[in-house]
Amino acid sequence: MKLRVIGLMSGTSLDGIDAALVDIDGSGTADLSWKLIEFVSVPYTAEQRRLIHDAIVRGGTAAICEVHALLGEWFADAALAVCERARVTAVDVDVIGSHGQTVWHRPPKDGARGATLQIGDPATIAERTGIPVVSDFRSRDVAAGGEGAPLVAWMDRALFSVPSRRRVLQNIGGMGNLTWLPAREDAQPLLAFDTGPGNALIDAAVEIATRGLHTYDEGGARAARGTVDRALLDELLAHEFFAHKPPRSTGREIFGRPYVERLIQRVAPTSEAEWDNLIATLTALTAHSIARACHDWLSERGFDEVVVTGGGARNATLMRMIQDLLKPVPVLPGDTLGIDADAKEALAFAAFAWAHVHRIPANVPEATGAEGLRVLGSFTPGAAERTPLEFVTPT
Amino acid sequence: MKLRVIGLMSGTSLDGIDAALVDIDGSGTADLSWKLIEFVSVPYTAEQRRLIHDAIVRGGTAAICEVHALLGEWFADAALAVCERARVTAVDVDVIGSHGQTVWHRPPKDGARGATLQIGDPATIAERTGIPVVSDFRSRDVAAGGEGAPLVAWMDRALFSVPSRRRVLQNIGGMGNLTWLPAREDAQPLLAFDTGPGNALIDAAVEIATRGLHTYDEGGARAARGTVDRALLDELLAHEFFAHKPPRSTGREIFGRPYVERLIQRVAPTSEAEWDNLIATLTALTAHSIARACHDWLSERGFDEVVVTGGGARNATLMRMIQDLLKPVPVLPGDTLGIDADAKEALAFAAFAWAHVHRIPANVPEATGAEGLRVLGSFTPGAAERTPLEFVTPT
């Protein structure tokens, strides 16, 4: 069924809300087609970032509750902004897919199920926009014994696999995750897992180094000026996560600001040059963790190109490091996919809402380790005066 | 449409999970009929109580996330327990309505919208039981400018109004809330609002007095032995909440353990008799707040009987105090309603799930202050192999 869908994404980088307006058509995964109509990225203000960050890090119930409601308002604003940019009225949008903001995520461990918590009130999004909302895509996969991540694998295959080439889609947001896609004509299972930190550690180091003046290493300029501390890098790469066999997932609980704070206490950079060296080393950590993931888990399958999306694709130093480590395989920027590289995650959550309405399972058990296929997300109705959305029963 | 529904409730008292299995039939509010098939109340273990309490009081994103998942498991267990007791298989249950556990609730204030957060993962309930779940009933009303409470007013009228008598339904859980119902033949609006603390303060005082050995004043025995400190009672009744014109709602954020801890620091009871006096005074506070609510806001409308449900109905001292204050109006125990008095809240959330599936708005704007009628809750699908539930479009 053809639906006009908005996908909303607020990643672990806390840089803002991405909203993609997409037309999606088809009867299932095999014949799914899509057209990106418009994309906006609404950056958080410093105050918004602070509120979210404090709620996540300090975690008082009152603060989490308040930010849950506020994020709902901001997500709604972003959805209305992408409509306005596209000159589409909200009543003409069929459904919104909202990933929400992950405040905590613990993968399954030692036989115990995982736990995950996303906030960003879907009732508020539905109330402000009038559009029905599908939200909280991770929880069902986690309840079924999965990692709840990486989530985007289903959409990666449906939307971005290509004939006769084996593609790696490497997303670098706060965390890094990859999806290995066989050539389109090849029916073998895909593979997807988290590679480790994306920009989160680099961002935290820049923010501490500049006392909050900058929140990321623009273009990778500081990393380019610095020198990688090879001994420190080897030590950081010895973290058990990087040796973990997929399925695997990670988050700020492991690779977050406290990790960087501990590192700074040890390294104690005093000059700008020493800060640059630390930033270069953390950039190399992301690059090496990605390259190692490709070597360790994709060598047997083989891969013909690596396409990088997310904010990390704009860090030239990081891109160069990854290319050096993976040559001769080409490492390409995300616009290779025919979309703004930043739009990919938001597009994914639009596709997830489409899948929910069609009762199509959108988790990939080989990627998450879940017991089986599951329909993801919860549905919150739109305005009462709307014609209710009909759910499609898979045939 | 006739649906077999399970309602799940975990109240602010943190005493356990109530599960009601109900058959509900009708095409709308006017012709709704119901039959309670089975009811179970599964008490929390001391460890479960401690986990929930710590997550709510101390917060911490990790703790809230873990308890969100755990509560999902425990809610699922309670749903399966009521099925087993009734010898009904889960596949024959159409939908579950789960209120979840409120971890924070801030009503609208000074023109700013309210915020509310319920946990107890619906995806986990759906995964374990295979039954679709409607959850999070408060949020939409809050997003529409309402208090998100009291929620049960719609069900109170649909299920419990009677011909030619004006009824007050007073629920005494952790908090107290009442619904004033005109006689069944009378079309005038109902009135519903929170009366203030229910058992929460009494329970906290008993728990502190007995160092956790007891968690409530069984039968009101301690309050019966104690003497009410009239001066202290008058001071407590001077709290601004009790003068607040409805719509109004409250919670543990105001009348919770910290409130009792501050009181104990001042009163500093040393003997058992002094503790009994404090417990008697807190019991009188609940009784007086209920009586005052009836006098202040229901006198003009008039009321012919007061029916008390929830755990407070089993506190004989509290019931006697309320009766003394409201005579000659009869104060009746909840079984007057033809159901176990404890089952009423769980029954309400079953009715809410039924309403959601029928796209019937279940908030009462006169009671919550919301801008208008809203369909409440979010829908999480059941097992994939089930015949999907059809949503009914209101005619």
Q: Are B361 and A384 an interchain contact pair (Cβ–Cβ within 8 Å)?
A: yes
- Give the mutation candidate from B65, B125, B385 for the A interface (greatest A CB count, under 10 A): B65
Q: Would you say how long chain A is, in residues?
A: 395
Euclidean distance between CA atoms B262 and B201, whole angstroms: 12
Euclidean distance between CA atoms B48 and B26, whole angstroms: 38
Cα of B16 to nearest chain A Cα, Å: 21
What is each CA distance from B353 to A346, B116, B370, B390, in whole angstroms? Answer: 31, 19, 20, 13
Cα of B137 to nearest chain A Cα, Å: 9
Q: Are A64 and B68 an interchain contact pair (Cβ–Cβ within 8 Å)?
A: no
Q: Are A139 and B128 an interchain contact pair (Cβ–Cβ within 8 Å)?
A: no
| CB-based contact A132:A95 (threshold 8 Å) | yes
Mean pLDDT throughout A209-231?
96
Give the nearest chain A residue to B253 (CA atoms). Answer: A62
Of A378, A65, A135, A102, nearest to B142 (Cα)? Answer: A65
pLDDT bin (cut points 50, 70, 90) of residue A395 is: low
Q: Interior CA angle at B347 toward B51 and B80, to 5°?
A: 55
Q: Would you say how long chain B is, in residues?
A: 395
**Region of poorest pLDDT, from A62-66, A256-260, B187-191, B357-361:** B187-191
The DSSP symbol for A245 reads P
Q: Are B61 and A113 an interchain contact pair (Cβ–Cβ within 8 Å)?
A: no
Token digits for A159? 């939307």
* Of the ranges B250-254, B374-378, B382-386, the best mean pLDDT one: B374-378
Cα of A26 to nearest chain B Cα, Å: 20
Cβ-nearest to A103 among B57, B61, B136:
B61
Q: Are A61 and B56 an interchain contact pair (Cβ–Cβ within 8 Å)?
A: yes
Token digits for B113? 């919208």
Q: Are B56 and A56 an interchain contact pair (Cβ–Cβ within 8 Å)?
A: no
- DSSP characters for A254-280? TSSHHHHHHHHHHH---SHHHHHHHHH
Q: Are B65 and A116 an interchain contact pair (Cβ–Cβ within 8 Å)?
A: yes
pLDDT tens column, A11-46: 766 789 999 999 999 988 778 889 999 999 999 999
**Cα dihedral A365, A369, A375, A380 sign:** negative
What is each CA distance from A137 to A5, A71, A366, B123, B391, in whole angstroms? Answer: 16, 17, 17, 9, 21
Give the whole-number percent of chain A exceeding pLDDT 90. 77
Mean pLDDT throughout B270-293?
97
**Predicted pLDDT of residue B157:** 87
Q: Is the pLDDT of residue A332 over 60?
A: yes
pLDDT tens column, A107-117: 898 889 999 99
| CB-based contact B60:B45 (threshold 8 Å) | no
Amino acid at position A223, single letter: A
Tell how strand B16-25 and strand B3-9 pair up: antiparallel
Euclidean distance between CA atoms A129 and A363, whole angstroms: 27
Q: Is the pLDDT of residue B393 over 70?
A: no
pLDDT tens column, B194-233: 999 999 999 999 999 999 999 999 999 999 999 999 999 9
Give the nearest chain B residue to A137 (CA atoms). Answer: B123
Chain A residues whose beta carbon lies within 8 Å of the beta carbon of residue B126: 140, 143
pLDDT bin (cut points 50, 70, 90) of residue B158 is: confident
HSE (side-chain half, CA atoms, 13 Å) at A330: 10
Q: Is the pLDDT of residue A390 over 90?
A: no
Euclidean distance between CA atoms A69 and B175, whole angstroms: 23
pLDDT tens column, A169-191: 999 999 999 999 999 888 888 99
pLDDT bin (cut points 50, 70, 90) of residue B151 is: confident
pLDDT bin (cut points 50, 70, 90) of residue B365 is: very high
The H or E element containing residue B178 is: strand B175-181
Chain A residues whose beta carbon lies within 8 Å of the beta carbon of residue B131: none
pLDDT bin (cut points 50, 70, 90) of residue A201 is: very high
pLDDT bin (cut points 50, 70, 90) of residue A141 is: very high
Q: What is the pTM of this model?
A: 0.86
Mean pLDDT throughout A195-200?
96
**Predicted pLDDT of residue B30:** 76
The 10 Å Cβ neighbour count of residue A52 is 22
Cα of B34 to nearest chain A Cα, Å: 25
**Region of poorest pLDDT, from A76-80, B134-138, B248-252:** B248-252
**Predicted pLDDT of residue B394:** 59
- Give the mutation candidate from B51, B58, B61, B106 for the A interface (greatest A CB count, under 10 A): B61
Euclidean distance between CA atoms B177 and A91, whole angstroms: 38
Cα of B110 to nearest chain A Cα, Å: 15
Euclidean distance between CA atoms A78 and A382, whole angstroms: 17
Task: Please provide the distance, in angstroms rounded to a whole number, between the alpha carbons at the two ends of chain B.
Answer: 13
Q: Is the pLDDT of residue A393 over 70?
A: no
Euclidean distance between CA atoms B206 and B308, whole angstroms: 22
| CB-based contact B149:B105 (threshold 8 Å) | yes
**Predicted pLDDT of residue A268:** 95
Give the nearest chain A residue to B107 (CA atoms). Answer: A66
**Cα dihedral B329, B332, B338, B342 sign:** positive
Euclidean distance between CA atoms A324 and A330, whole angstroms: 10
Cβ-nearest to A65 among B103, B373, B374:
B103
Q: Which long-range contacts (CB under 8 A, 24 or more apart) does B70-73 make?
A: B70/A115, B71/B10, B71/B100, B71/B101, B71/B119, B71/B120, B71/B121, B72/A143, B72/B120, B72/B121, B72/B122, B72/B123, B72/B124, B72/B125, B72/B128, B73/B124, B73/B128
Give strand pairing partners of B24: B3, B34
Chain B residues whose beta carbon lies within 8 Å of the beta carbon of residue A61: 55-57, 59, 64, 103-104, 117
User: ipTM score here?
Assistant: 0.85
Give the nearest chain A residue to B392 (CA atoms). Answer: A388
Indicate the SS3 state at residue A142. helix
**Predicted pLDDT of residue A77:** 98
Of B353, B387, B384, nearest to B137 (Cα)? Answer: B353
**Predicted pLDDT of residue A394:** 58
Q: Are A384 and B375 an interchain contact pair (Cβ–Cβ within 8 Å)?
A: yes
pLDDT bin (cut points 50, 70, 90) of residue B247 is: confident
Q: What is chain A's mean pLDDT, rounded?
A: 93
What is the Cα gyration radius of chain B? 20
Euclidean distance between CA atoms A25 and A392, whole angstroms: 13
Euclidean distance between CA atoms B364 and B374, whole angstroms: 9
pLDDT bin (cut points 50, 70, 90) of residue B37 is: very high
Euclidean distance between CA atoms A74 and A44, whole angstroms: 9
Q: What is chain B's mean pLDDT, rounded?
A: 93
Euclidean distance between CA atoms B376 and A349, whole angstroms: 23
User: Which spans in A161-256 are helix H?
Assistant: 200-209, 221-225, 230-237
> In degrees rounded to 5, what are phi and psi of residue A196?
135, -150
Cα of B340 to nearest chain A Cα, Å: 32
Mean pLDDT throughout B24-28?
90
Euclidean distance between CA atoms B49 and B53, whole angstroms: 6
**Predicted pLDDT of residue B335:** 84
pLDDT tens column, B97-121: 999 999 899 989 888 999 999 999 9
The DSSP symbol for B96 reads E
Token digits for A233? 């890098």
| CB-based contact B189:B163 (threshold 8 Å) | no
**Predicted pLDDT of residue A150:** 80
- Give the mutation candidate from A56, A57, A65 for the B interface (greatest B CB count, under 10 A): A65
Give the whole-number percent of chain B exceeding pLDDT 90. 77
